[in-house]
Amino acid sequence: MRHTIFTTALLLSVAQLTYGQDTPAAYADATYQYSENTLNGTARFRGLGGNQAALGGDASNLFGNPAGLGFYNRSELSISPSFNGVNNRSSYLGSQTTGTQGNVSIGQFSVVFSGRDNGPENRRVRRSNFGISYSQALNFQNYINAVGINQNRNSSILQTYVNEANAGDNNNPNGYTGAAINNLYDFNSNQAANSAAAAYQLYLIDPTGVVGQNASGQIFGPPYARADANTAKQQQATISRSGASSQWTLAYAGNFDDKFYIGGSLGITRLRFNSTYAFTETPINGTAFNNYVQTNTLTVTGTGINATLGIIYKLVPEVQVGATIVSPTFSSVREQFQQSLSASPRDPNIINPPNGPTPPGSVAVVTGNDNFPYSMQTPFRATGGATVFLGKAGFLTATAEYVGYGGMRARTTAFNDVQTNNQFRSDVTREVQATYKSVVNLRAGAEFRAGIARVRAGVGYLPSAYVFDLDRVPRADRSKLLVSAGLGVRNDRFFADLSGSYLTYSSGFTPYSLPSDANTPTVLTSNRGTNVTLSVGTFF
């Protein structure tokens, strides 16, 4: 599963790309990335910083605290189009570059059906309400562009192919001979079994050692050499990703004496993730190649299910508290990975080789595990919060959310034997527990009212879930800071809310990995994301 080599870079995660093939670290990290909920819902709750634990009467309650559904005394229809933008600044080899991107999506669409008011004189259950919604829990849009000049002659992505060719495989433990590495390439389909074989067909690497003799002459093999080895390189790494984790939710809540509210919801999730990682290397004053590119494309799809139970209780009319417990999302996931190498030769002897075939423009690298199914379990969550009402002037609210990242799991039945499948599960579990820790996310918000007008503000602090910071990415504080604000108007028949939020954090990755840290460059990125959401709705 070569896609695990680049999963971390594609997902902008832990901060380095030192993983080998089939590593549990990549699947542990993927599960973490698909579990990070920073801000979602209607513009009202987004403007409040995502505080949902102790507030009701909003469509966000359907997929937040379902007990808040019990506050409705009339039915509602609402929709929230949303714009997400990124403006990231990356530092690579002493150079600064930016990457910008934006898209529009539907943040939520909800219908709430309010039940009949039973009246206080009839029974304790004043009302029960039902709702259905579509919401976007995570938007994966991101773009990173890093460019720099690498003066280190020992540092090149070609060296990773050299190392792979020198290492060989189980059938070639002393490294590949020229014939052996050539056998890993299918001339009819233009596909190679590994990256080293693709690089060999493109003349990016060549064997330099004489390892034997046969009737045809000398047999060449390790050590391999790379083209333009003694030149500085301009290097560019780009990561472009899109997709979302969305959810359809069915929620039901009851109102007891206008004091105690309890609700539950069932969520059906859909995961769509697309990412393209491209690394381009251009030898400066090179004689063999103008440039060469490695491109990795990862597509992930999945479906899952979760459940939420929530309560809200009014201690006094001015103060109410709330809490939720959210089960892990249990998902069935499939990853599809594609890798290709391409090269633009400069040397006429490479363009038209006198003693070999003309190189193709690009080569696809294909293995039997590029289409890989597995199941995923996201963390258990629990929230608690309180809201203090300031009469008709508005309210203050705060939320604390526990996220048990150590409980993430991944399993598969893709391998041919039960022992290998069980080993995959155990390795991922061990990697999760060694890398991630439980965190408590903190949020606070306020709303102020003047007639039909509303003004809102919120802030959130989401601490890093990593057990340790990785040495290759200094200064990469992966804690996230969220600031939001919003405006709104509402009357007896209609409401409209507008919110804006700003999310900032640091991340990093290594475009390629070599045995020496000194030869492995690092991209450090200051991630800056913005969201603008408009919610409109009507009561009926």
Taking the chain (540 residues) in runs of 10, the rounded mean pLDDT of each run is 39 33 67 86 96 95 96 97 97 96 96 85 80 96 97 97 96 95 96 97 96 84 96 97 96 95 98 96 97 96 98 97 97 95 97 91 92 94 97 96 95 91 92 92 97 97 82 61 97 96 93 94 95 97
Closest to 199 measured CA to CA, from 87, 422, 359: 359
Residues with Cβ within 8 Å of 354's Cβ and at least 6 positions away in sequence, in order, are none
Output the pTM of the full model.
0.89
Question: With contact defined as beta carbons under 8 Å apart, do 530 and 502 qualify?
Answer: yes
Q: What percentage of the chain's residues is helix, strand, coil (to nearest 5)? A: 15, 55, 30
Question: With contact defined as beta carbons under 8 Å apart, do 360 and 340 qualify?
Answer: no
What is the domain class of 3-155+229-274+281-288+309-328+374-539 according to CATH?
Answer: mainly beta
Residues with Cβ within 8 Å of 497's Cβ and at least 6 positions away in sequence, in order, are 42, 43, 44, 47, 454, 486, 487, 488, 534, 535, 536
d(CA 97, CA 234): 14
Whether the upstream peptide bond of residue 283 has omega within 30° of 0, thus cis, is no
- 3-state SS record for 463-515: CCCECCCCCCCCCCCCCEEEEEEEEEEECCCEEEEEEEEEEEEEEEECCCCCC
Residue corresponding to tokens 């990290």 = 29
What letter does residue 208 receive in the DSSP assignment? E
d(CA 34, CA 62): 20
Structure token pair of residue 277 = 């990682």
- 3-state SS record for 59-110: HHHHCCCHHHHHHCCCCEEEEEEEEEEEEEEEEECCEEEEEEEEEEEEEEEE
The predicted pLDDT at position 17 comes to 33
d(CA 144, CA 277): 10
Structure token pair of residue 196 = 């080293």
Residue corresponding to tokens 């304790």 = 124
Residues with Cβ within 8 Å of 294's Cβ and at least 6 positions away in sequence, in order, are 157, 195, 278, 279, 339, 340, 341
Residues with Cβ within 8 Å of 223's Cβ and at least 6 positions away in sequence, in order, are 162, 166, 175, 207, 208, 209
Question: What ranges in 231-384 are assigned the alpha helix state H?
Answer: 348-351
The predicted pLDDT at position 29 comes to 78
The predicted pLDDT at position 22 comes to 46
Q: Give Cα 339 distance to the centre of its chain.
A: 19
Question: With contact defined as beta carbons under 8 Å apart, do 15 and 384 qualify?
Answer: no
The predicted pLDDT at position 478 comes to 79
Find the angle CA(64)-CA(66)-CA(67) to the nearest 5 degrees.
Answer: 125
Question: With contact defined as beta carbons under 8 Å apart, do 497 and 454 qualify?
Answer: yes
* SS3 call for 299: strand
The predicted pLDDT at position 9 comes to 35
Closest to 76 measured CA to CA, from 110, 50, 106: 110
Q: Give Cα 537 distance to the centre of its chain.
A: 31
The predicted pLDDT at position 214 comes to 81
Domain boundaries, the chain: 3-155+229-274+281-288+309-328+374-539
Structure token pair of residue 132 = 């259905």
First to last CA, the chain: 53
What letter does residue 436 receive in the DSSP assignment? B
Residues with Cβ within 8 Å of 85's Cβ and at least 6 positions away in sequence, in order, are 100, 101, 102, 529, 530, 531
